[in-house]
Every structure is written in structure tokens, then in C-alpha cells.
Structure 1
Amino acid sequence: MLNIADTLYRWCREARPFALATVVQVSGSAPLPPGTSLAVDTDGEAVGSISGGCVEGAVYELCGQVLESGEPPIRASFGYSDDDAFAVGLTCGGELEVMVQRIDPADQPHLTTALEQASAGVPLSVAQVIDGPQRLLGRTLSVFGNGSAYDGTLGSQQADRAAANQVRGLLRAGRTARIEVGGDADTCPEKLTLLVHTRAVPPRMLIFGAVDFAAALSQAGRFLGYRVTVCDARPVFATPERFPHADEVVADWPHRYLERTEVDARTAICVLTHDAKFDIPLLRLALDLPVGYIGAMGSRRTHQHRLERLREAGVPEEHLARLHSPIGLDLGAHTPEETAISITAEIIAHTHNGTGLPLSRVLGPIHGSVPPAKAPSAAALLAA
């Protein structure tokens, strides 16, 4: 639901009831992940998407049905139809399950608060009951900020506390996921399955080196939803005017800036300076941090010299193995803009364990994960 928080908050402010359809489970090559929602208000206005177009019409009708009847939340499954590819179903071959419920803003003021916070960019998670006793389906519990406060209820204090404890971890990690709580007679006797919708702070992209490639990369990073920082030790180059798409431009030695800034497992560090006096102290520090991606620009010869210097500086081999250098995928890029696509493509592939190969050369679902034991190796695919 947080993908359409702005519109839902407006409807709540106007006390306008609406039907909310949420993807609660996906299998195979379904186009959109769990947590994605479509909503329809009493005037028939629709917002959002749950399948990229395949089953929107059928879900829209379900929303109208639930909105008019006021019936409890319902579940519906959609999959591919072999007999009629134009029948209601996912022509991409996947399957998804959708829960549709009526939302009356006056009955759920805590949800209005959560949507307001999400619209303002405040980190939060909303846990929604998607399986359990009928009377509890659709209930929500919101966990805000650092996870110390929550609002709403799943039916009991025990369930609320149990859910909040798990949701805090997902909020810190910035993940949307299904969890289970309850089923314990001593704490929470009723077993509930929750879909936790998370709106986290944007991940960070730290670009070191105020060069033309950094200007293009900062634009690509921002487009992907990163909070972008460009840092360079040379004040004449590190100016906001040269990097209008960056959220922050810092004139400081790269390693000194990295020492004092916050990073996490979603942070991408891109070193574009290819100058040893900047690179070595920066990479020595970066490779010891729990960040998601570290890449460095330079030729293969520059990369080998860089590795030698890092080894001399005491960086262990297991840390060096984390370094993506030369940075980016082999796309035949030449311009700064093409190079930015090459770099961000590698970041995406690394983040989601992609192969980086053309989809026409990869077996299995496009949107789903192939079990590692069955996945072909890159070498085998290239030789095919």
C-alpha cells in the first residue's frame, strides 16, 4: 500500500472509503512484488497497479464488489490460462494472490497517520494481517522511525508486541516481507500471517571523484532512488552547480568523509578518482565496512597496481574479493552516460544476485529466483 501512500492519504483526509487490493503472495514470473497495491475509491477512481496490466480489470471489479457490499476481506488467485491467453490471468506465466478489503478511514485513524508519515518520507513499516481469524483480516499495525513506537492493533497486546519485535528488524533492513506471529498459548494463541509493508530511508550512493562520469552517475543513481553524495578533495570541482542531481556535494578527502558518514548494507560506494593518493586510503577503509557494493574505476593495469598497494597496506584477500574493478558491466560503454548505465547495471545485478547476462540467455522465470542448485553457470550459458 505504501507505493500509493500519497493518494491513499488524500482519500483518508477526505474521509473517502476505498477498496485496497494488495499482492500478498507471488510465485513464478509475476511482474510486481508482494506489498504492491491497487485501490479504488467510491467514485470509481483507481490508483496503483498489482500486475502491470494483466489482471487489473478483474481486480478493479473485485474492489468495486467489496466496496459496495462492505463484505470482509476476500482473497483471489490469478495465474496463466493455457486455454485462453486472453482470459483473466497472468500471460507472463506467474501466479499471484491478492487480498481485497474495504478501508473506512474513520474506523482506522492510525492508518491515516501511517499514510501521512509515508507521504512525508518518514521511515515506517505497516504490518497487515493477511491470514488468520476472519475477524482480524486486514487489520494493521504501524511501526515508526527507529522502531520504538507503534500504532494500531492486530487484536491483542500480545500480538502487537510480538509483531512489533519482528517488524523492527525489517524496518532497519528496509525490507517488505511476510512474517508469522502467535500460535503460542502462553503469549499469543491466535496464529497470524502478516505482510509487512516497509518505507525505509533511501539507500545511499557515495560517489568519490568530481568528474564527468560522476555527474552522469549521480543522475542515474537518483533515478534509481538512491540518496546521492558526491565527494572530492578539490573544492574547485566539488560544487553543487556541477552536480545538480546529487543530494549532497562534499569538498573533503574521501577517506576522511567516509570515516564520519553513516553507511549500511544497502550503501553503494563508487570510486571514480583512479588516483592512488585518494583511492588507497579510501578503499582500505571502505573494504572493511558492511556496505552492499564497492566499485572502482580504472584500467586493468590500474586495477592490478591498486590491488598491490592495498595488499601492501594490509588489506586481506577476502576483503579485496569484494571490490568490483574495473567498475561496471561490459556494455561497450563509451560516454559518461553509457558508463553510468554500466555501473548501475552492475549494482542492480549484484544487489539482486543477477547474472548480468541477456535475459534471452538465462533459463527460468524472469521475475522469480532460480534455485541455485538448478541455475546454469555463466560459463555454461555463454558456451551454449
Structure 2
Amino acid sequence: MRDLAPHLARWHAEGNVCAVATVVGARGSAPLPLGASMTVDVSGTVRGSLSGGCVEGAVYDLCMAVLDSGAPVRQTFGYSDSDAFAVGLTCGGELDIFVQRIDEPHYRVLAAALGTSEPAALVRDLRTGAMLALTPGAFLTSGGEWPEAVIGRARSQLAAGADELCVIGCGDEVREVFVAAFAAPPRMIVFGANVFAAALCRVGRLLGYHVTVCEARPAFADRTRLPDAHEVVADWPHRYLRGTAVDSRTVLCVLTHDPKFDIPVLIEALRSPAGYIGAMGSRRADAERRARLREAGVTETELAALHSPIGLELGGRTPEETAIAIGAEIVAARHGGSARSLSATQRPIHAPARPWPAGPDFARAQPGRSRGVSISAGDPVSSHGTR
């Protein structure tokens, strides 16, 4: 839903009223996950999507009706022989859609939840349409009292980074709320500033990662060469990785293709909680790299986490094709995909969403963990690879 923030902010500034429709429940095959949202303003302008096109026409009419009445509506769109093509939900799933009109108090709450880079949760009461924006430090409401049980549940969902429809007992009252959790984006750290890294930065952004490129050679750690990276760091890869925040959502891609950089950073990476670790190189380079890592004390269990050579076997050769192959492997690893063609499998196309593992960032500052490697951790090396 955060992708709607610029449109909502503009409409708010213009004094424009809109309706927001959100997927608050899904059963069976559903094209987009819980929390997918679409907004329609009073002129009929549409932004966002709920189902990749399946039910947008029917929900558009529902939004216009809510704009007229002002009353929130919850409606189910399901598959049956009689109505499948009427609403377009031919995938066989069933969606619960909640639609509400957005007025001034709601705009302020939405801005607090969507217009920040901090983790935030947006809670909506599915009976009244009341909203609550919750950040680690404060919360803002569109009116009304929010029981501590609801606030506590919202904090739990924020920590887990998962959207959920919650039915919560609050004394003699039962509140049904939808909690949309907006965690800070996961990190992709790319080691080595080359043409493959530049292409992978674009793919990383597309997949929703905050992309950092770390390059030891100052001449190559040039921001203009990597316009799609969020940040570029000039430092020895293993030293930077040792001192930065890494958690189970973090993706580490080693593209340096040079043992003096690869081995130290991979030792750090394989002993970190990173969710994906990949390294570029030929079959021969991979065999030599694994031998060096074993000599440095890396165990077979630790080595099992290494995706090397990095990426899926798609047959591509260009930097862009290679980046897509790496991105595809990351997606498969993230969601437990088979990495086979859909036409060759019988699994559901839209498997249930897997929330990111919960837990705080793993900030490490433990010098001396790289065992058995004779490399200095001084200043960044020169463009020729020497100190």
C-alpha cells in the first residue's frame, strides 16, 4: 500500500476525497497478497491494484458507491460458474475487499503510516472504518478509543512484518481489525562494483530491497556508475559486512570474483544470519573457492548455505540476463519455490504468502572472526588491487 502514498498525498493537498479498497482476506488462488490496495478519487481516477485485473471493475463501482454514501463496505468476491466471468475472478480464489471513504482525519493517519521510512503499522476497524497509525515511537488515530489489546496485536504484527485480519476480544466487545505492517525494506548488499552489480541493483530495487554496493577500490566505488544503488560504500567487503546490520531478510551477493575479496567476505557471510548468500564465478572458480573456504575453517553445514555459482540456469549471458537469474534465485529461496517452469509443476501458482522471519537486526561488531585468512583490513585498496 505504500506505493499509493504519493497519490494520496497529492489528492490530500488538492482537497480531493477518495476511496481506498483493500484485500483483507483471501482464500484459494489469489493473484496479489493481503493488503493489496486500490484507490479511486471522486473524478474516477484509479491508482493501485487488488487482483491484477480480476475484480477491479466491480470494485471500482463499489468505490464510487462508498464515495457517495460515506459508509464503509466489506464485500466478498468469489468464484462460481455463474459469476466467475461477471467479476473476472476466474483464478478460482475468493477475496474479501474492504472499501472506505478517505476524509481529512484518515488522510493524516495514512500519511503517518505510509509517508515514513520507519517501520509502521496501519490498523483499520472493519466495522467503523476508524484508523490507527502505529510506529515504534508513537501512534495517531482518526478518532475513537483503541483498546490496549488491539494496540498490542498491532505491535506484534509490526514486529513480524505480516499483514493479518484479526478478531480481538476487548472486554465485552469484539473488534475485527485489519493490520497492515510496513517493515523497513530488507537489505541487498552487493560486493563488487562492476557491470553485473549495476544490473543487479536495478533488479534489487524492483524486488523491494534497499541496495548497498560495497567496493574496496575507491576508483570503482563511484556513485555515478551505480545509479540504482541506494548507497555505495568504499571499504573492504569483509570489514564492512562485519560492522553492518544483517538479519534473516538480508541478501548478500558476492560479485567481486577475486579470492582476496571473496574468501574473507564469504567467511563472514556464512557465519551471519543472512537469508541468502550467493557468489559469482565459473565452475572451476567455485570449486577452488569452496576448497579455500574449507581450509579457512568453514564447515560443510555452513557451506551448504552458499549459492555458488550464483543464480538460476536460465541460459542468459548479458549482465541484465545474469541479474534476472540472480533475482529469480533469490525469489525462489525466499518463498520456497521449485525454480521449475509452472507448466512442469502441479503446485498452486499463488502459494500462501510467507512472512519474513521476525527478529531484530543482527548488528555485529566482533573483530577477529575471519580465521585463517591473511588479508589486511586497512584502508580500501587501490584500483589495481594493492594497498
With the shorter chain as reference, the TM-score category is 0.7 to 0.9
Give the drift of 1:174.
3.7
Q: Residue 313 of structure 2 corresponds to which residue in structure 1? A: 330
CA RMSD of aligned residues (A): 2.5
Give the drift of 1:120.
5.0
Would the aligned equivalents of 1:129 and 1:154 in 2 still touch at CA under 8 Å?
no
Counterparts of 2:300 and 2:154, CA distance in 1: 36
Counterparts of 2:344 and 2:352, CA distance in 1: 15
SS of corresponding position for 2:225: coil
Q: Count the aligned residue pairs.
A: 354
Which residue of the other structure, out of 154, 164, 172, is the alignment partner of 1:177? Answer: 164
Letter in 2 for 1:96: L
The C-alpha deviation readout for 1:36-57, integer Å capped at 9, x for no partner, is 1222233333322212222212
1:277–1:166 CA distance, 2 compared to 1 (3 A) = farther
1:218–1:20 CA distance, 2 compared to 1 (3 A) = closer
Alignment of 1:159-238 (within 5 A): 159=147, 161-183=148-170, 185=171, 189-238=172-221
Q: Residue 33 of structure 1 corresponds to which residue in structure 2? A: 33
Give the drift of 1:285.
1.1
Which residue of the other structure, out of 111, 133, 136, is the alignment partner of 1:142? Answer: 133
Q: Residue 329 of structure 2 corresponds to which residue in structure 1? A: 346
Letter in 2 for 1:35: G
1:44–1:153 CA distance, 2 compared to 1 (3 A) = closer
Q: Residue 289 of structure 1 corresponds to which residue in structure 2? A: 272
Q: Residue 289 of structure 2 corresponds to which residue in structure 1? A: 306
Give the drift of 1:200.
3.0
Match status 1:266 vs 2:249:
yes
SS of corresponding position for 1:241: helix
Deviation >6 Å, runs of 4+: none
Q: Residue 124 of structure 1 corresponds to which residue in structure 2? A: 120
Give the drift of 1:142.
0.8
Alignment of 1:89-128 (within 5 A): 89-105=88-104, 108=105, 111-115=107-111, 118-119=114-115, 121-128=117-124
The C-alpha deviation readout for 1:290-341, integer Å capped at 9, x for no partner, is 2221111122332233223323333333322211111100101212111111
The C-alpha deviation readout for 1:254-275, integer Å capped at 9, x for no partner, is 0001112122222110011232
Would the aligned equivalents of 2:332 and 2:339 in 1 still touch at CA under 8 Å?
yes
Q: TM-score when scaled to structure 1? A: 0.84
Counterparts of 1:74 and 1:114, CA distance in 2: 19
1:212–1:103 CA distance, 2 compared to 1 (3 A) = closer
Letter in 1 for 2:19: A
Alignment of 1:55-94 (within 5 A): 55-71=55-71, 73-83=72-82, 85-94=84-93
1:198–1:369 CA distance, 2 compared to 1 (3 A) = closer
Give the drift of 1:192.
2.5
Worse-matched range after superposition: 34-43 or 90-99: 34-43
Counterparts of 2:185 and 2:268, CA distance in 1: 23
Would the aligned equivalents of 1:3 and 1:36 in 2 still touch at CA under 8 Å?
no
Give the drift of 1:35.
1.0
1:242–1:219 CA distance, 2 compared to 1 (3 A) = same
The C-alpha deviation readout for 1:338-362, integer Å capped at 9, x for no partner, is 1111101000111111111111112
Structure 1 unaligned segments of length 5 or more: list them. 372-384
Q: Residue 18 of structure 2 corresponds to which residue in structure 1? A: 18
The C-alpha deviation readout for 1:235-257, integer Å capped at 9, x for no partner, is 22222232222222222110001
Give the drift of 1:370.
10
Q: Residue 375 of structure 2 corresponds to which residue in structure 1? A: none
Structure 2 unaligned segments of length 5 or more: list them. 355-387
Counterparts of 1:253 and 1:276, CA distance in 2: 13
1:84–1:142 CA distance, 2 compared to 1 (3 A) = closer
Would the aligned equivalents of 1:364 and 1:370 in 2 still touch at CA under 8 Å?
no
Counterparts of 2:223 and 2:99, CA distance in 1: 46
Q: Residue 140 of structure 2 corresponds to which residue in structure 1? A: 151
Q: Residue 49 of structure 2 corresponds to which residue in structure 1? A: 49
SS of corresponding position for 2:51: coil
- Structure number with the bigger relative contact order (C-alpha 8 A, sep ≥ 6) is 2
1:118–1:84 CA distance, 2 compared to 1 (3 A) = closer
SS of corresponding position for 1:197: strand
Counterparts of 1:200 and 1:6, CA distance in 2: 18
Counterparts of 1:206 and 1:89, CA distance in 2: 40
1:126–1:66 CA distance, 2 compared to 1 (3 A) = same
Worse-matched range after superposition: 13-22 or 95-104: 13-22
Counterparts of 2:318 and 2:112, CA distance in 1: 42
Counterparts of 1:143 and 1:338, CA distance in 2: 40
Counterparts of 1:244 and 1:42, CA distance in 2: 38
Counterparts of 1:289 and 1:192, CA distance in 2: 41
1:173–1:294 CA distance, 2 compared to 1 (3 A) = farther
Letter in 1 for 2:99: V
Letter in 1 for 2:341: P
Q: Residue 379 of structure 1 corresponds to which residue in structure 2? A: none
